[in-house]
Amino acid sequence: MPNQNEIRADYDANSIVVYQAYAPVIALAALKAQRFVSPFSFTRMTWIKPSYLWLMQRSNWGNKSGQEHILAIRITRLGWEEALALGVLTHPEPSVHGSAERWRSDFDSAKVHIQWDPEYSIRGAVLNHRSIQVGLSRHIIERYVSEWIVKIEDFTPVTRKIYSLLQAGHADKAKQHLPPERVYPVSGEIAKRLGMHLK
């Protein structure tokens, strides 16, 4: 059985894929430039997620207003792990922070916020493990955009195909088009920092 908190992702030796959903005006500009450009905001937190199905649940398969385009953003593992190493949980956890006061101090100064949310099946059922969200603050977004991004791919067409198959009752066929996510290894230090040891 999976740990309650685990990172599952599409990754290789040097990079990992994270997903974001945007309105066309942001997504199309990013695809053309292969980096985020205006009107993408560099002054507000941006959340990246390695779980495709988590984003599908949040964006309703790209059907929510302002989330019509699904982007698969391949970033360096060095950048990803830097973000994890800087991350602070969005809620206090005694076995991680010791006290609520210590958590508040760490959280208020954090460049990266970490949140664990329920993972979902392709049919939208809540699973018994959680998926990570990584919030990059304005203090580190420029690094994400300028140094970490390797490639931005438009996942909107495959998302629409999967959704159409689901709507037609062909879940098994739809699953064949999902990205190949597997457990992503992290150091013991990062696992403890992010509460991944919790059952």
Compare 111 and 199 and report the one with higher pLDDT: 111
Separation CA 22–CA 16 (nearest Å): 20
Q: What is the widest separation between alpha-carbon atoms in the chain?
A: 51
pLDDT greater than 90 at residue 108: yes
pLDDT greater than 80 at residue 198: no
Q: What is the pLDDT of residue 1?
A: 44
Tell me what the mean pLDDT of segment 29-41 comes to. 97
- Return the structure tokens found at 183: 């457990």
Which segments of the chain are extended strands (E)? 8-9, 15-22, 46-48, 69-76, 87-89, 112-120, 126-136, 149-154, 182-183
Separation CA 107–CA 102 (nearest Å): 8
pLDDT greater than 50 at residue 53: yes
* pTM, to two decimals: 0.94
DSSP 139: T
Q: What is the pLDDT of residue 3?
A: 62
Domain boundaries, the chain: 8-193
Tell me what the mean pLDDT of segment 23-45 comes to. 97
Per-residue pLDDT reduced to its tens digit, 80-102: 999 999 999 999 988 888 899 99
> With the C-alpha atoms ordered 80, 81, 87, 92, is the resulting torsion angle positive or negative?
positive
Q: What is the pLDDT of residue 136?
A: 98
Per-residue pLDDT reduced to its tens digit, 59-73: 999 999 999 999 999
Which strand (E) or helix (H) includes residue 67?
Answer: none
Amino acid letter for position 116: W
Q: Is residue 86 a contact partner of residue 191, using CB atoms and an 8 Å limit?
A: no
Q: Which of 3-7, 28-32, 45-49, 150-154 has the lowest mean pLDDT?
A: 3-7
Compare 140 and 197 and report the one with higher pLDDT: 140
